[in-house]
Structure 1
Amino acid sequence: MQVEHVTIHGHRRAYVRTGSGPALLLLHGLGCDHTTWDPVIESLARRYTVIAPDLLGHGESDKPRADYSVGGYANGMRDLLSVLGIDRVTVVGHSLGGGVAMQFAYQFPERTERLVLVAPGGFGPEVTPLIRAVTSPGFHQVVGLLTMRGVKRLSTGGLRMLSRLPVTQVRDLGEVADVFDTFADSRSRAAIRHVVRAVVDWKGQVITMTDRAYLTEHMPICIIWGADDMVIPVRHAETAREVAPGARIEVVPNAGHFPHKDHPQRFVKLLNDFVRSTAPSAYDVEAWRETLRSGGDPSLKSAEAGERPIRAV
């Protein structure tokens, strides 16, 4: 698939657009790019118009000194979709992309039909120490040394060898090696550091969806997690179940942090079944206002608002 480019707000953004049908926006995780969806994008394109961008600071997109918050990313996705002439999408976000997807749905409910979160951030503080290390002083300089040609070959080769062992705890190290490869570019290192500092500190994740999860009451939501995820623990799926009881939770056996790569056919089936069995959310500004006022407490909603739910069409 050919990578296309468009300049928005002075920054060049890369994306792949393929297929036809209802629009599907695929958002990758930290240090990845649109190629993380390669195992599933061709199958998805048989049913959907698939848009898979490289987030700013990643892949072939520019890596400026800019706003790398999840809110900033959500704004960037709205603007990209507007330029491409796409008004409404089912948003699919993996890891960091899951946080961006949640923020997109919160900021732009009128443009969000469904929400699919794949091993997302935002449901608890725990995250792998490898990500927390990015916030440490000296990260930029130390990783610069570790990604020098000879050293990088040894370190990434070792990670990939470990990932082939029949041990669940090292399953995701091959993907970690791919991310580490991108750190050879000083601009990528700087961008990733800005991204991580916006969402993680030394204690773990600092952003959360739990205080706004009640807003998903009127929006179809599916959460997919690998049972052996060592990056963001699968037990966060139980938190998601508690704060978003209407969500469909799917835990994929024998999969790590990248279930769409570990079991692509299973992932595509789950996504297709979810889209096929749910009607897209339709935005009602009055119902949204009442939901915000009530904070998700049904007893605080006016009787009039109760007659105006956010409809499914």
Structure 2
Amino acid sequence: MQTRLNCVDMGEGEGAPVVFLHGFGGDVSSWLNFQVGLAGSWRSLAFDLPGHGGSLDYPKTCNAVVAAKAVLDDLEAMGIGKVHLAGHSMGGAAAAVIALRRPELVASLSLLAPGGFGPEINQALLRRYAAQTDEEGLQMVLEQFFGSEFRLPRAMAGYAAQLRQDPHVCESLKRTAEAILDGKRQKTLPLDELGGLSLPIKVIWGRQDRVIPVGQCVGLPAMIAVHIFEKAGHMVHLEASREVLALIRQSIRSAR
């Protein structure tokens, strides 16, 4: 059985590796600092989800369920039987689906501004982001993904614009946006079932999230630990990367 997703495999360690799943419109590059930070103690795998980055040619349109199935297939092909999962936004929803379907595979779960925790979502922003191709427009849209005090590096919009010179990128993002949305809302996860899993679960969110409301982490099952960063937006893993990495390390250690 062959793997089908692009993957960055980094670091060494005897325990279960850490698997990183990016959000809508992202790719493996968003996890580079996390993988470098863990490399001395843990092996980590960052996947490009279907229709993104180096997995652009995956034959099915991505949503959380498709992404979960693709990652599970690749982990099986790689002979990996236990993992720590960390997922952002759509990747967080995919990580939750993996844990719900294969709880014996998951040692810990770290969900960063995850999709599927409530029906509300800024669908207009996601659709604008999917359709935007020029650097100036991407700069304006991307700023909405971050907290008000974060200064977005110009290189981020430039990188996104360069990728979108390939028309297949925007086509894939538009299809993905419609697959994860249900009109003006998003599809939801069975949170009570998720909270009943016997593994460490952390939900990490930015108070200033303008994509998915932080209020969706209120009233979660008691076994899910919630951490909110007051000055961060939707991209909490980039805005508070050291603190988020520390929380992921806590999840790994508590699973031991």
Alignment TM-score, normalising by the size of structure 1: 0.71
Give yes or no for the alignment of 1:35 onto 2:60: no
Code of the residue aligned with 2:233 in structure 1: it is G
- After alignment, is 66-75 or 220-229 more displaced? 66-75
| SS across alignment from 1:52 | strand
Code of the residue aligned with 1:40 in structure 2: it is F
User: Are the aligned partners of 1:132 and 1:204 in contact in 2 as well (CA < 8 Å)?
Assistant: no
Give yes or no for the alignment of 1:118 onto 2:98: no
- After alignment, is 121-130 or 110-119 more displaced? 121-130
User: Are the aligned partners of 2:49 and 2:62 in contact in 1 as well (CA < 8 Å)?
Assistant: no
The equivalent of 1:16 in structure 2 is 8
How far is the alpha carbon of 1:74 from its aligned partner?
A: 1.2
The equivalent of 2:249 in structure 1 is 272
Correspondence 1:167-246 to 2 at 5 A: 167-168=148-149, 177=157, 179=160, 182-210=163-191, 212-216=193-197, 218-238=198-218, 242-246=219-223
Instruction: Supply the distance in 2 between the matched residues of 1:31 and 1:127 (Cα, whole angstroms).
Output: 15
The equivalent of 2:89 in structure 1 is 95
Give structure 1 stretches of 5+ with no counterpart.
1-5, 280-313
Number of equivalenced pairs = 252
Cα 1:96/1:173, change in 2 over 3 Å: farther
Code of the residue aligned with 1:191 in structure 2: it is S
| SS across alignment from 2:87 | strand
Instruction: Supply the distance in 1 between the matched residues of 2:64 and 2:227 (Cα, whole angstroms).
Output: 24
The equivalent of 2:66 in structure 1 is 72
Instruction: Supply the distance in 1 between the matched residues of 2:68 and 2:141 (Cα, whole angstroms).
Output: 32
Cα 1:71/1:154, change in 2 over 3 Å: closer
| SS across alignment from 1:116 | strand
Code of the residue aligned with 2:175 in structure 1: it is H
Cα 1:174/1:109, change in 2 over 3 Å: farther
User: What per-residue deviation string (whole Å, max 9, x for no partner) do you get for residues 188-238 of structure 1?
Assistant: 22222232222213321123333633442x221111111221111111111
Instruction: Supply the distance in 1 between the matched residues of 2:23 and 2:81 (Cα, whole angstroms).
Output: 23
The equivalent of 2:136 in structure 1 is 154
Please tell me the root mean square deviation across aligned C-alpha atoms, in Å: 2.9
Structure label with greater radius of gyration: 1
Cα 1:132/1:264, change in 2 over 3 Å: closer
| SS across alignment from 1:223 | strand
Correspondence 1:106-145 to 2 at 5 A: 106-131=100-125, 133=127, 143=131
Cα 1:247/1:171, change in 2 over 3 Å: farther
User: Are the aligned partners of 2:61 and 2:172 in contact in 1 as well (CA < 8 Å)?
Assistant: no
The equivalent of 1:287 in structure 2 is none
How far is the alpha carbon of 1:179 from its aligned partner?
A: 4.9
| SS across alignment from 1:255 | coil
Q: Which has the higher contact order (CA 8 A, sep 6+)?
A: 2
| SS across alignment from 2:6 | strand
How far is the alpha carbon of 1:257 from its aligned partner?
A: 1.3
